[in-house]
Amino acid sequence: MYNQDYLTRREWLVRGGSAVLGLSLLGCEIEEQVGFNSTEGSLVPWANAPDTGAMSQVNLLEWEQLDSWVTPTSDLFQVGHYNRPVIQENEWNLEVGGLVENPLTFTLEELRSRPQQEEIFTLECAGNRGFSGFIGAVHNARWTGTSLASILQDVGIKDSGIEVVFWGSDSGEEEIRGNKIVQHFARSMSIQDAMDPNLILCYAVNDDPLPNAHGFPLRLIAPGWYGVANVKWLKGIEIRDTRFMGRFMARDYVTLREEKVDNESVWMESSVGRTRINSVPAKVTLLEGNYRVHGAAWGSSVASVDVSVDGGPWRPAEISVSQDSPYSWTFWHMDWDGGSPGEHTITSRATDAGGRVQPATADPFIALKKTYWESNGQLTRRIVTGDQ
């Protein structure tokens, strides 16, 4: 059985672990809240730990190692569907145009000199939890940039504009209706969605300059939206008068779900967009006979988290670290005596402020979904107690 001695937050900082350096800038409030002491004890490994080997280049979060509320920059998972462009700051600018009164081009310096805006945001790939081994495509980081809405105001959207397209610098070959073409990564939003004051054009994460893998020099951060909406290596923002139907809006990242209407099946295809309430049991620790289940919950305003052992009654978990906003995750924990020695299952379920409950995997909302995106069903993990 493998043991892990957890360091307290202060010990980490004193020892100067470079991965956690960014955290020291976060201010005392969160530092006190994190309470690393709550993770003291030895780690009890999951009996059904997934094989994540095939996913190594994605740098997935390892739930059993989770010990910082803000994910250190070097630990952020990374997804790129095309090439990973390496962009020189002096060869780059952002063009904002299309159906606007006053098209503008910005250098990075010009964007940096605009008023700064920050958000701690839990970014989850919409494919997370959709297939085996892909359960750590989520991170919680502090993003710094400038308001998208204020830039859209400055260019002046014409009355005919209905759609805002965010163009990335990365591209790849696509076959579309018999045509082989080279297409850039792009996502879009309605003007109303894009004018949300929480959306930021970001050039820094956790006080580090945006790493290349995460979109240097500029990316969109769209709190409340799945990862795919957060366009990296941003090069253009374009206002159009038709809905945009690019690959990542209308072919990929499309959820297919069967809905029953008066006993008839209706097949609903929808573009992945806003996040859904989600939670996972992250790890279990054992200290002096007490098992503690630690987990995270995100995707909405988390009102409560419950845990079921062996499919038994739901028991409320305690919140260990609360959200900074509806867009950041919470950490929670639940103490347990370990039951009878042997194998047990642990399932978590989060409920949001609107009363939406994270669905069971058997819930038609999950069970009748044919595609793997938006898999926010309850996660059950297995553990063996009594042999420590």
Ligand X SMILES: Nc1nc2c(c(=O)[nH]1)N[C@H]1C(S)=C(S)[C@@H](COP(=O)(O)O)O[C@H]1N2
Nearer to ligand X by C-beta: 56 or 102?
56
Cis peptide before 217 (omega within 30 of 0): yes
Residue carrying structure tokens 């978590």: 348
227 binds ligand X (CB under 6 A): yes
Q: How many other CB atoms sit within 10 Å of the CB of residue 141? A: 24
Burial classification of residue 362, based on how many CB atoms lie within 10 Å of its CB (0-12 exposed, 13-18 middle, 19 or more buried): exposed
Best CA proximity match to 227, nearest among 103, 141, 322: 141
| Residue 192, number of CB atoms within 10 A of its CB | 9
279 binds ligand X (CB under 6 A): no
Distance CA 340, CA 65 (A): 26
Interacting residues toward Mo ion by CB under 5 A: 79, 125, 227-228
Q: Which residues of 36-55 are buried (b: 16+ CB within 10 A; e: fewer)?
A: bebbebbbbebeeebebeeb
Site for ligand X in 105-124 (CB under 6 A): 123
Q: Which range binds ligand X by CB under 6 A, 87-95, 155-163, 226-234, 358-366? A: 226-234
Dihedral pair phi/psi, residue 213, rounded to 5°: -60, -25
The site string for ligand X over 231-250 (x = CB under 6 A, - otherwise) reads xxx-----------------
Of 31-39, 79-87, 259-267, 375-383: span binding ligand X (CB under 6 A): 79-87
Region 116-175 residues binding ligand X, contact defined as CB under 6 A: 123, 125, 168, 170
CB of 220 to ligand X, least distance (A): 8
Judged on CB neighbours under 10 Å (0-12, 13-18, 19+), 233 is buried
Is residue 346 within 8 A of residue 291, CB to CB? The reply is no
**From residue 180 to residue 209, what is the string marking binding to ligand X with x (rule CB under 6 A)?**
-----x------------------------
Residues 327-386 binding ligand X (CB under 6 A) are none
Q: Which of 30, 111, 164, 228 binds ligand X (CB under 6 A)?
A: 228
The encoded tokens of residue 248 equal: 């990542």
Q: Which stretch binds ligand X (CB under 6 A): 73-81, 93-101, 321-329, 361-369?
A: 73-81
Q: Decide: is 80 part of the binding site for ligand X (CB under 6 A).
A: yes
User: At closest approach, how far in Å is the CB of 167 from ligand X?
Assistant: 8
Which of 17, 81, 286, 339 is the binder for ligand X (CB under 6 A)?
81
Question: Which of residues 81 and 114 has its CB atom nearest to ligand X in the complex?
Answer: 81
For the chain, how many residues are written? 388
Nearer to ligand X, 229 or 334 (CB): 229
Residues that bind ligand X (CB under 6 A): 76-82, 123, 125, 168, 170, 185, 214, 227-228, 230-233
